């Protein structure tokens, strides 16, 4: 009789565990590269077409003050994947190998996301998730930084920061970090247009992973250079010219790829139990890929809004409201704790996180500010947003102060009218910087270029007709 009771209890427990596992949402992170803030239909673009992402915006929450942790690709992704300001562990000033070949020669394998830091994939694995990353990695090219050693069960993509959207005709002449790789050292060039291939791979993973909760990090290289459009879109956007036209075509391909993934979730009946996030790693560089950050000033690698504020969409049917805007500041730092909380974990026990669980705020249960203060730093430049005020600190001229809610284009400098507030924000920024580690990789100005250029060059937003 006792054995029967024990068996019955065991069965109930197993059923309970299975039910709990079934309630965990799948998580899909769709992540663009170097996209312009104004180049999305849901942000009012007149020419770029993003119908699938526009529909995602209607089905979820649009984050209108969503920030990255850094204005360039590598540091931004390091902060997002770790849930910590990347300056806390010295990943501050430059991109890892794959972009700056001289740095690669100088520092070799030393550049990458420090291996002692768990990633969002590590945390989700601990919660029972099957994890995969497709596309751009950019967190270090050495084997010890490989995605399969950083919490991901599957990887198909490239270790570096950018590559051709088409297969290299002679892979032996390409850099190792730019080659397509399946798993660990399964180097073989893809067939077809890269954006489409990544969508196919993500959909295949989703198809194979329905038996347990999964996390997909679909890390597009679009619309980063090189400017190469899908041949099937060659006749589109005839009203645009040059790089601007190619950027619109590349954006269309990326939107179509996002739609393919969303359609796969719907086809498999997984949409209602999947948390989907779309965002971008930094502002558009404009002069390199023809992007537009309208109505924001600034570009990639500057700490103006156009370098730091990015699109943000969060959709979870039945768990989050649909078709609404959330206007208070949030950050890509918040993705890790949000994913952990959605997966049944407790982000409060993770040491040193700088982000917060977004879900109570997006649901309306918490009416407070997720972040009173957000800070950014690159070399001696710094920026701080405290409430509705934003201070920009420069090494070669006086600080600038903006009411960022009334003046998101940062056109009206109010520093001279508010000297005490400027002093207070300087102190807050300095206090934050005292918590940081020295940069692991030092910037060479002649390679990065941006740090020696005045913010004034990017002050005026591009024409709205974009």
| pLDDT for 13 beyond 50 | no
Q: How far apart are the first and last CA of the chain?
A: 76
Percent of the chain with pLDDT over 70: 86
pLDDT score at 97: 56
Angstrom distance (rounded) from CA 238 to CA 150? 43
pLDDT score at 111: 82
* Residue 277 vs residue 9, higher pLDDT: 277
Annotated active-site residue in 103, 123, 138, 371: 138
pLDDT score at 100: 43
| Per CATH, domain 374-458 is 3.90.1010.10 | no
* Residue 430 vs residue 9, higher pLDDT: 430
Buried b (16+ CB within 10 A) or exposed e, 176-199: ebbbbbeeeeeeeebeebbbbbbb
* Residue 22 vs residue 413, higher pLDDT: 413
Q: Tell me: the pLDDT tens digits for 329-343?
A: 999 999 999 999 999
Is 73 an annotated catalytic residue? yes
Annotated active-site residue in 43, 73, 190, 371: 73
Residue 307: Cβ-neighbour burial (10 angstroms; 0-12, 13-18, 19+): buried
| pLDDT for 286 beyond 80 | yes
pLDDT score at 440: 81
For residue 455, report the phi and psi dihedrals to the nearest 5 degrees.
-60, -25
25 close to 273: Cβ distance less than 8 angstroms:
yes
Is 46 an annotated catalytic residue? no
Q: What is the mean pLDDT of residues 375-380?
A: 92
Q: Count Cβ atoms below 10 Å from residue 443 Cβ, excluding itself.
A: 18
Mean of the per-residue pLDDT values of the chain: 90
If you search the block for the tokens 């791979």, which residue do you land on? 201
Q: What is the mean pLDDT of residues 167-178?
A: 94
Q: What is the mean pLDDT of residues 444-465?
A: 49
Q: What is the mean pLDDT of residues 248-256?
A: 98
Looking at 84-88, 95-99, 166-170, 372-376, which range is the least confident one? Answer: 95-99
Angstrom distance (rounded) from CA 245 to CA 271? 33
Domain ranges of the chain: 27-371, 374-458
| pLDDT for 109 beyond 90 | no
pLDDT score at 458: 59
CATH classification (class only), 27-371: alpha beta
* Residue 411 vs residue 105, higher pLDDT: 411
Buried b (16+ CB within 10 A) or exposed e, 314-345: bbbeeebeeeeebebbbbbbbbbbbbbbbbeb
Half-sphere exposure of 93 (CA within 13 A, CB side): 20
pTM: 0.91
Helix (H, G, I), strand (E, B) or coil at 81: helix
Q: Tell me: the pLDDT tens digits for 196-248?
A: 999 999 999 999 999 999 999 999 999 999 999 999 999 999 999 999 999 99
């Amino acid at each position: 009789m006792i054995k029967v009771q024990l068996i019955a209890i065991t069965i109930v427990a197993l059923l309970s565990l299975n039910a709990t596992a079934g309630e965990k949402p799948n998580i899909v992170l769709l992540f663009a590269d170097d996209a312009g803030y104004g180049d999305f239909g849901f942000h009012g673009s007149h020419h770029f077409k993003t119908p699938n992402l526009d529909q995602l915006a209607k089905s979820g929450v649009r984050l209108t003050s969503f920030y990255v942790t850094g204005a360039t690709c590598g540091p931004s992704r390091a902060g997002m994947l770790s849930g910590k300001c990347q300056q806390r562990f010295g990943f501050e000033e430059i991109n890892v190998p794959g972009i700056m070949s001289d740095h690669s020669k100088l520092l070799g394998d030393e550049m990458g996301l420090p291996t002692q830091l768990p990633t969002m994939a590590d945390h989700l694995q601990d919660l029972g998730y099957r994890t995969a990353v497709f596309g751009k990695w950019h967190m270090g090219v050495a084997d010890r930084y490989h995605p399969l050693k950083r919490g991901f069960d599957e990887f198909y993509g490239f270790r570096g920061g950018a590559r051709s959207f088409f297969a290299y005709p002679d892979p032996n002449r390409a850099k190792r970090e730019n080659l397509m790789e399946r798993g660990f050292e399964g180097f073989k060039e893809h067939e077809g247009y890269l954006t489409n291939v990544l969508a196919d791979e993500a959909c295949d993973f989703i198809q194979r992973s329905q038996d347990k909760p999964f996390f997909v990090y679909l890390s597009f290289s679009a619309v980063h250079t090189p400017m190469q459009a899908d041949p099937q879109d060659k006749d589109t956007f005839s009203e645009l010219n040059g790089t601007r036209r190619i950027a619109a075509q590349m954006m269309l391909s990326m939107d179509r790829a996002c739609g393919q993934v969303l359609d796969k979730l719907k086809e498999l009946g997984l949409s209602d139990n999947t948390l989907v996030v779309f965002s971008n790693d930094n502002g558009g560089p404009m002069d390199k890929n023809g992007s537009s950050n309208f109505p924001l000033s600034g570009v990639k690698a500057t700490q103006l809004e156009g370098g730091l504020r990015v699109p943000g969409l969060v959709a979870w049917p039945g768990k989050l409201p649909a078709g609404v805007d959330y206007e208070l500041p949030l950050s890509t730092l918040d993705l890790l704790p949000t994913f952990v909380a959605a997966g049944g974990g407790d982000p409060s026990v993770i040491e040193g996180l700088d982000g917060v669980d977004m879900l109570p705020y997006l649901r309306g249960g918490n009416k407070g500010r997720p972040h009173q203060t957000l800070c950014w730093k690159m070399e001696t430049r710094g920026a701080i947003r405290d409430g509705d005020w934003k201070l920009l600190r420069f090494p070669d001229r006086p600080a600038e102060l903006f009411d960022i809610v009334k003046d998101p284009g940062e056109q009206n400098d109010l520093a001279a009218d508010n000297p005490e507030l400027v002093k207070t924000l300087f102190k807050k920024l300095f206090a934050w910087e005292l918590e940081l580690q020295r940069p692991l990789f030092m910037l060479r100005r002649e390679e990065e270029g941006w740090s020696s250029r005045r913010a004034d060059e990017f002050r005026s937003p591009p024409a709205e007709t974009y």
